[in-house]
Structure 1
Amino acid sequence: MTVGGGVKLQLVFGDITDETTDAVVNTTDFVYFQNGVCKDILTVAGADVEAELKAAKYTRGDVFVSQSGNFPCEVLFHVCGQKDAVVIEQLVIRIVEHCESFGFECVAIPAICAGAGGLDPGVVAGAVLRGVKDATSSFGLNSLTDIRLVLLKINVFLAFKEEAMQMFSTAVINKVSVPQLPHVQQQQHPPSVEADLSIVCNSSTSQQSVFRFLGLSRKDVDGAKTKLKDLYQAQCYSQTFRQEELKDLTQDDVKDLKQLVETEGLYVELSQGTLKVSGLNNGVIKVMQMINASLHGNLRREVRVREEEDLYVRVAWCILGHRGNWERLPKTANHSLENNDVGGRIVDAQGNKWTMDLPKMEATRYLGGQTAKLKRLEHLPDFTLPLYWDNMAADESLKTVELLPSDAEYRTVKEAFKRTVGKTVLKIERLQNVICGAPMKLRRSKSLTSTNSRVENDNCESIIKTGFNRRFSGQNATSYGKGTYFAVNANYSAQPTYSKPAADGSQLMFVARVLTGIYTQGQQNMRVPPPVSNQEGHDRYDSVVDRMDNPQMYVVFHDNQAYPTTSSLSIDREEI
């Protein structure tokens, strides 16, 4: 159910040791650690966490924060409910405060004192839920989005359910008929575009303006009405948005659109998935810009995903695990590190958050302060380096790496050696041997490509690797501006002028997705699109075209407005 501040409250009938939230709450008396939930959590977390808990200086009503050990979360919160409903309620509030201070998004809380503590489940449920209600309605929560109350016994679960239904009777309740995996939200299909946008139409159709005309004669009044109508219509404009332009709008986008329509007094019609917006020019342009901005955001996300996947094939950033094994970082972290975009935290494959020191090639865990080494591997064109290897040059087929005694790899080899040999180990080396007969032949054939063929293919190779680039503008034509040109029809691009045939007669073309946005007529010397209006020079058109009535050519001036959806397309010239 959704409670105060938009926080999702979930009642989970299950085992808290299955949770993978940012923080997990353990209930204990700080004396005996082999009872109930405490025993289960410490069994997973390990001896180090238990030792830290035994050495803790507990203060009544406080939340003790420890490392998570082997438990799959960031930290463990340890609390003592003291079999007191008031204390339990205050502890829940403090747990929420701690989550906010750490920047956590989700927390799992057991039924404090309902098990080994011996309190009545109904009393515990009331105390915990009051704490949740007070914390979520009193604080301005910026981080916490999910609170999971994990209840192991069915009578406790039913007591919590009954109390929650009464306390949050006005909340939006989502009943789940099948068991959920821990911290995995079931994906819901988004409502259709027509259903979302209907609220925009309903809010605008009733808007009207009323004018009263006074004059000396009917002729004067009719003339004034006609003149005002003509002046108004001269300032009006209509724009129709297709379904594919609207399908990615979020519910927040629709709410913003509704507010803009009401503010600008626009008229909106929805028909078969298309949206027609009519009204004064300035208001319609603002709607176009809002929808275009949303499309830009979606395109940027698609481009980012494509970049991450492409980089992941070529470069591997790794972190040294606590057991001495190199672990590869996920695609998003890999991309951020490669582009030195580490102002925030990097998340590893287990969900742990780290801060980075790239000059030292070292990472520090955000919670706990443990440090770990970093490594960057750049794969060879024809060989993917194992994670435990060091980098190799493109022309290397054999590399010898001397291991340090402090290396886990060194210790593993030495221990295996010393089990059966009593002699002294002087040196351990890793042999990195790449069998590369065929790949080397391929590289040689590339280096022997003729000069003319290489010049013709430079643009295509650049597009395949990095996308479109305006620096190549002007090599063929700039009739409508000095940008990147995209033809609507393939036969235009397939002309030998624009797609030069190779020696075997084949040509290389790209199918591209282009964000055209609001466009206008192009001119030869344009370096950027012209302003939409003279009054607002900073608001420019998104692209230009060869003709306004039926464009056959679009020109864009930002590289991130387009990307090739098909990396390359080989076409036989005779088939065009």
Structure 2
Amino acid sequence: MYKVKIGKSILDVKKGDITKETADAIVNLNNKRLDYDSGISKTILAAAGDSIREECIRSGKQPHGDVVVTGAGNLRYHRIIHLIDAVNTVKIVAGVKEVLKACDQHNLRSVTFPAIGTGKAAIGAKNSLECILTGIEEYALGTATSCISQIHIIAYKENIYQEYEKYNLYLKLYGKDVTLIKGDITKQDVECVINLTNCSLNRNFGVSAAILSAAGSSVKDECKTLAPITTDKMVLTSGGNLKCKKILHLIGPTSSEDMVPALERILEECVNHSIKTVALPAIGTGMAFMNPSDSITRIIEGLIQHFEKNTHTSLTKICIIAFTNKVYQAYSQAFKTISFQIQESEPYSGDNFDAYLRNPPTWTDMDTDEYKTIELSNKSIEYRDIEKKFYESAKPYTCKLIKIERVQNVKLWQSYRIRKLFADRLSPYQENEKLLFHGTNIETAQKIIKYGFNRTYCGKNATLYGCGTYFALNAWYSCTDTYSVPDKDGHKHIIVADVITGKWRKGESRYKDAPPTGEDPETRCDSVVDDVDNPTMFVIFCDDGAYPKYSITIKR
């Protein structure tokens, strides 16, 4: 069994017989005549007894998507909530919300769900759980007060439970995906694989030997050329025959105290090479003989340290690969515990919410000022990070960077953080934020710094994808005179912004507001784009959906 926290409710998932569980309410998957005689419904109604069948008959034909509350008969529950025709993903999400609404209306504090959709509807276990969680999260987000404290999901079949359990071995840390996988690191579809080796780069046993063997002779030859290495050095080779493009070789840490610094160095090296996805082995569980539980805890700690220090890291996905059953079992147990602890500390209310809205640690003291701009030293790490991102994406445009100013606007920051919290709660399993560029003239740049982005400025340059605020993935687009108009000194002004891109769809000039996602007419996109599969232009229609983080001044 494992558990997570959603809103104020504790949710657990376990394998078992739903008719033997105890809660205030049980969810029964039924048809509109309330006489479905197959699968889990047949089992529940048989256990409840004839009195409940008769009550269902008296309730009559029901419309799609509704719920009906009846007694529970011989079951250990107080009520049965019959969910009508939840046969696709959209209906499951909507149905789960209706069930929870019924629980609040009838003051039912705990509810048990079956594995919705995994029977005759033939919905995959992963999609099933995803839909149930989405429904719970959307209901929690839209409900200020709820009496529901316990939510249970029961998987009767072993294969369904195993799929559900795999889905839980996943964390969202600072918007980045962290996944635990049992398997072979050489078969992972990532950009970079980490190889913990010896000074000669030729370790002939364990995971390191497997990596070199699978990578092939070309990588072995590269290693011969690059060897030897010291404990403070790493080398990058091609991926050879592996799916990855690169292999990062280093001498692994030999104690738990060395784990976090070592992992930070590994991640920094990945960022230096603009790597987005990486596979880590079970660091420390081999030659270092580290306890697996301690190992995974240190790995997560190292990830958190990296993400806290590098808010604009290139990394988006980290896969932690456990090869043996022993390590995987220990990792998975620790992973679930860590996941629950992280979710418990999420910023929903009280002190945690205040901390969520707190000014970033990089800001200087605001005193009583509502906003200010701070010119960054060109020797600071913060300056160099933004400078690097700007120049890399400004090519082939050539220019001189005059200055970078950090924008510190308390009101805009708090409005943006609240908007991002909602986006993260609605879409918790995806990256919802991007750092983008917005070219403009000096007058508008000053207004943005003081008052934030404003859709009324749109139309000055383009409305091809809708009447919103436009942001570019690449700086060169914002550098053109069409967008960043030179001032009297020949200086051009570009805003670097955190933007909630979330869920998107292809933009159209007729859009004056965010269009529906397409999955649910009631749910709107966070942004629209020029190309759904490979977007380089993002348009938002909500003014507080972007925060002007830096103001860059350049000259041609």
Question: Which structure exhibits the higher relative contact order, with contacts defined as CA atoms closer than 8 Å and separated by 6 or more residues?
Answer: 2
Per the normalisation by structure 1, the TM-score is: 0.31
